[in-house]
Amino acid sequence: PQTIYLADYTPPAFLVEKVHLTFRLSPEKTRVLSKIEFRPNPASSSRTFFLHGENLRLIGAKIDGAAITPQVTAEGLTADVPDAPFTFEAEVEIDPAGNTALEGLYMSNGMYCTQCEAEGFRKITYYPDRPDVMSVFTVRIEGDMPVMLSNGNPVAEGDGWAEWHDPWPKPAYLFALVAGDLVNHADRFTTRSGRKVDLNIWVRPGDEGKCAFGMEALKKSMTWDEEVYGREYDLDLFNIVAVDDFNMGAMENKGLNIFNSSCVLASPETSTDANFERIEAIIAHEYFHNWTGNRITCRDWFQLCLKEGLTVYRDSEFTADMRSAPVKRIGDVIALRARQFREDNGPLAHPVRPESFVEINNFYTATVYEKGAELIGMLKRLVGDDAYGRALDLYFERHDGQACTIEDWLQVFEDATGRDLAQFKRWYTQAGTPRLRVSEDYEGGTYTLHFEQHTPPTPGQEVKDPRVIPIAVGLLGPNGDEIKETQLLEMTEARQSFTFDGLAAKPVPSILRDFSAPVILDRETSNEERAFLLAHDTDPFNKWEAGRALARNGLLAMIREGAAPDAAYLDAVHTMARDETLDPAFRALAHGLPSEDDLAQSLHDAGHTPDPQAIWEALETLRDARAVTMEATARALYDRHQVTAPYRPDPEQTGARALANAALAILTRRDGGAQAQAQYDAADNMTQQLAGLSCLLQAGKGAAAVQAFYEQWQHDRLVIDKWFSLQILQAAPQDTADTTARLTEHRDFTIRNPNRFRATLGALAMSPAGFHHASGKGYKTLADWLIALDPLNPQTTARMCSAFETWRRYDADRRALIAEQLDRILASPNLSRDTTEMVSRIRG
Ligand code: DPP
Ligand code: ZN
């Protein structure tokens, strides 16, 4: 396969003025008629006319009304064209029913839908399928479907046809079409300048009752973007459609967002608190793309972080405003470390703005999205809130309607603030997570912090230059009072020291408050100091971080030296659990332990070979010990934080349920599941029901509830996804692979639905002790299914290969078992470009 380089970018030879598309829908033989007005691009010296096109059957083509015979290859079409504006027409036939890759136009439960980002439009018709070609689309849909939608506004409709027009020029990846038997949950929104917007969430009949929450989230998002970023919606209609078969979470097509049904449908009975929060965030994310992504798009796919990093940052600000900012921040950092640090540390590491790719679908990664968002957060910290606001205003003013680059983005900040961002740009171009070593001095009232930054080599990047790192620091006095409020230290050198004068005693530093930069802090410190920060730090993130570090250290000592559970940790976490001045949601988070993967990475970083089974056992031992210490407290917390009011997925109730369910997990280790069974039986919402079931499985008492749950929910695909996952996640390590294999034989398992596939095989990959079981069964089970999925759906297959990305951490036996599976995948006949690239990079 061919590698594509950022350095090779050239402007398009031809621009598109207008596109008219006609779809004659038919499951296996849909006809697409295109009429495209081209003109030579004055900014390009090339006059080569090339249109992308894949899996299309060309029926005929014309230029300015005269039939032509273009040269057609597997990638597209070329033709001789005039050196002046001209009209190109084509008629092609495509097979939506046979499209299992879910890219382009495909069918899901009898409904037609599209997914065009990044390069799906070329599977619909011949077109310059690149984001820097923006055009105005008119679409006519012919078919016998009750509802037929496309981007923009409806123009006209009749029996068996509908016409749509989108006045905003857009790249082809934002094109969308939906046709099916759908019903809508409707509402209205008036923008601050008085534009009345019709809002709809379209779903399959039967799902109408699961739309209200998503609709509220949409309206909140629209208001928030007006208030915080000054951005209004720009059409008279905003449609969201829920689709069951979807590779991603959702897609921001102009005026017609398409959602994986798991990311929009919600009801108290079927969705957990975490589902509600995620749905709110994704609705916001896709809506915010209307400005950061659609009105201002990317010049090429190397600039993906331009829209994704910024939009993730915006949706995290939104959630922080709607809910608890500290809880959101802690949750984001847990996810960043679990997914992005893991990626940055292994064979798939790449810069936030990559320099090359084989298949762009493989770069919709935690690095582009979540680290991309961290870069925006750092930029905002460095320039300050006001300057950030000015820079964003300038960005929208200067670049509206354009396809832009990271250079354009940084230029806006330089122009708005006068700051030189050349060094900051390294965050976009250098891969790897910087490690920040810290040491300290105290003498004569002066306290000094010494920092040293170092970024380990990543594939293709041996040596890194120092980056600018914003380090938020506060100081605490010996009695626990804050003696220096948070200040931002700007580190620009490889080594740099910062002093604080006039201190009466040696302070305790609170470093990297609010996780001010995506780095790994490396500081030798005592458990006493961690316990002190856990008790006294005013920064909620660092307070949580201190507890997490205490837990991690104790666990590492248990794993490495066979130490007993750390009394200091047990004491500290117990004290915090009882502190009713603390937000229950915060306390629930503080109860979480480092993940198995987190501990494996810590061991690896310290030069040890992680044993997944030993890690799992240490966590179990610690949880048992904690249950002994905290039994009475857990009982009290459980009772005290029961929610009696009618279910609402708001931050207060969510926090109370999270803490009560953390207490339930503790109690289950003492009462053998009695309380969990009572909760399961009484539950009137999915959060309580699933927590009950999870604890019962944990206690080995889940068999009856598993059966009952299935019978209750077998009609609901999204709930049954949870049922598949939970049984695998809660299996003992030696049973994980067998449980997975058994569930793949269940009549409700299907390889064709990405959600179901991820619920099952993804759960296996997310159970480290089971996946890495010494028998190698976990590796083989996953590889078998990835090999089976690849011919059907390369995108989802390739993404799930990242389960193997940490393989070099492990012992020689496990490495050999994994290498065998990676080689077996690579040797599969006709392996997709997507999976070939991923597995080759992982194999190294
Ligand atoms: N649908 C994906 C997202 O919104 C890709 N744009 O992030
Ligand atoms: Zn996005």
CATH number at 617 reads 1.25.50.10
| Phi, psi (deg, nearest 5) at residue 432 | 95, 150
Neighbours of 454 (CB within 10 A): 15
**Same-domain pairing of 491 and 550:** no
Q: What is the DSSP string of 633-672?
A: HHHHHHHHT---SPP--SHHHHHHHHHHHHHHHHHHHHHT
- Active site includes 620? no
Same structural domain, 757 and 794? yes
| Residue 240 within any structural domain of the chain | no
- Backbone phi, psi, residue 241, to 5°: -125, 135
Counting from 1 in the atom list of ligand 1, the atom nearest the Cα of 250 is: 1
Q: Which residue's CA is the closest to the ligand 1 atom numbered 4? A: 251
Q: Looking at residue 388, what is its pLDDT?
A: 98
| Alpha carbons 258 and 98: distance in angstroms, whole number | 20
Identify the residue whose C-alpha is closest to ligand 1 atom 1: 251
Q: How far is the CA of 338 from the centre of ligand 1 (A)?
A: 20
How many structural domains comprise the chain? 5
Same domain, 723 and 645: no
Q: Provide DSSP, 426-478.
A: HHHH--S--EEEEEEEEETTEEEEEEEEE---BTTB-------EEEEEEEE-T
Nearest Cα residue to 293 out of 312, 265, 274: 312
Q: Which ligand is nearest to the CA of 251?
A: 1
DSSP 284: H
Nearest CA to ligand 1 atom 7: 308
Q: Whose CA is nearest to atom 5 of ligand 1?
A: 251
Q: How far is CA 448 from CA 451, 481, 619, in A?
A: 10, 19, 37
Residue 278 lies in a domain: no
**Residue partners of 609: CB distance under 8 A and separation at least 6:** 603, 809, 810, 811
Question: Both 447 and 341 in a single domain?
Answer: no
Residue 138: in which H helix or E strand, if any?
strand 135-142
Last residue of a domain, one of 492, 517, 542: 517
496 falls within a domain: yes
Quote the ligand 2 centre to 285 CA distance (angstroms).
Answer: 6
The domain that contains 95 carries what CATH number?
A: 2.60.40.1730
From residue 374, give the alpha-carbon distance in Å to each of 194, 380, 404, 427, 754. 35, 10, 20, 10, 29
Q: Examine residue 223 and state whether it is found in any structural domain, yes or no.
A: no
Contact 819, 811 (CB under 8 A): no
Q: Which residues lie near ion ligand 2 (Cβ < 5 Å)?
A: 308, 311
369: CA distance to ligand 2 center in Å?
Answer: 8
Question: How many whole angstroms separate alpha carbon 10 and alpha carbon 386?
Answer: 36
Q: Report the nearest atom of ligand 1 relative to the CA of 248.
A: 1
- Alpha carbon nearest to ligand 1 atom 6, residue: 251
Tell me, in angstroms, the distance from the centre of ligand 2 to residue 413's CA: 22
Residue 413 sits in the same domain as residue 478: no
Residue with CA nearest ligand 1 atom 3: 251
Atom of ligand 1 nearest to the CA of 282: 4
**Ligand closest to the CA atom of residue 306:** 2
Q: How many CB atoms lie within 10 A of CB 671?
A: 19
Tell me the two tokens of residue 604. 């690896």
Ligand closest in space to the Cα of 315: 2
Half-sphere exposure of 198 (CA within 13 A, CB side): 12
Question: Cα(222)–Cα(263) distance, rounded to whole angstroms?
Answer: 18
DSSP class of residue 292 equals: B
Handedness of CA 381, 386, 389, 390 (dihedral sign): negative
Tens-place pLDDT, residues 321-372:
999 999 999 999 999 999 999 999 999 999 999 999 999 999 999 999 999 9
Q: Which phi and psi angles does 473 have, rounded to 5°?
A: -130, 140
Residue 634 C-alpha to ligand 1 middle, in angstroms? 41
Is the same domain home to 320 and 359?
yes
Residue 260 included in any domain: no
Q: How far apart are CA 328 and CA 325, in angstroms?
A: 5
**Edge-to-edge strand ranges of the sheet holding 71-72:** 50-52, 76-78, 71-72
Residues 149, 22 share a domain: yes
Residue in 170, 286, 294, 313 to alter for ligand 1 test, most ligand atoms within 8 A of Cβ: 286
The CA 526 to ligand 1 mean position distance, Å, reads: 43
What's the sign of the alpha-carbon dihedral 726, 729, 735, 740? positive
Q: Is residue 637 part of a domain?
A: yes
Whose CA is closest to atom 2 on ligand 1? 251
pLDDT beneath 70: ranges in the chain: none
The distance from CA 725 to its chain's CA centroid, rounded to whole angstroms, is: 19
Of the candidates 89, 103, 280, 286, the residue annotated as catalytic is 286
441 shares a domain with 410: no
How far apart CA 287 and CA 280 sit, in angstroms, is 11
pLDDT value at residue 1? 79
CA of 201 to the centre of ligand 1 (A): 18
Ligand that comes closest to the CA of residue 309 = 2
d(CA 789, CA 40): 42
Q: Is residue 127 part of a domain?
A: yes
275 within a domain of the structure (yes/no)? no
**Bridging pattern class, strands 520-523 and 435-443:** parallel
Q: What is the CATH number of the domain that holds 490?
A: 2.60.40.1840
Q: End of a domain among 458, 493, 517?
A: 517
Please name which of 746, 695, 696 lies closest in space to residue 721, comparing C-alpha atoms.
746
CB of 108 closer than 8 Å to CB of 159:
no
Contact residues of ligand 1, CB 6 A cut-off: 117, 248, 250-252, 285-286, 289, 308
CA distance 138 to 154: 10
Distances in Å between the Cα of 520 and the Cα atoms of 471, 499, 660 are 12, 22, 32
Ligand 1 atom nearest residue 286's Cα: 4
Same domain, 416 and 460: no
Q: Which of 831, 826, 777, 766 is nearest to 802 (CA)?
A: 766
| 8 A C-beta contact, residue 818 and residue 807 | yes
Find out whether 82 and 37 touch, Cβ atoms under 8 Å. no
Q: Which of 181, 207, 228 is the last residue of a domain?
A: 181
Q: At what angle do helices 703-713 and 686-698 cross, to 10 degrees?
A: 150
412: containing domain: 297-429
Q: Do residue 445 and residue 416 come from a single domain? A: no
pTM tops 0.90:
yes
**Same structural domain, 27 and 144:** yes
Nearest to 291 by CA among 216, 229, 242, 335: 229
Give distance in angstroms: CA of 289 to centre of ligand 2: 7
> How many helices (H) and strands (E) are present in the chain, helices listed first?
29, 31
Examine the domain organization and report whether 655 and 739 are in the same domain.
no
Question: In the chain, what are the helix, strand and coil shares in percent, each to the nearest 5?
Answer: 45, 20, 30
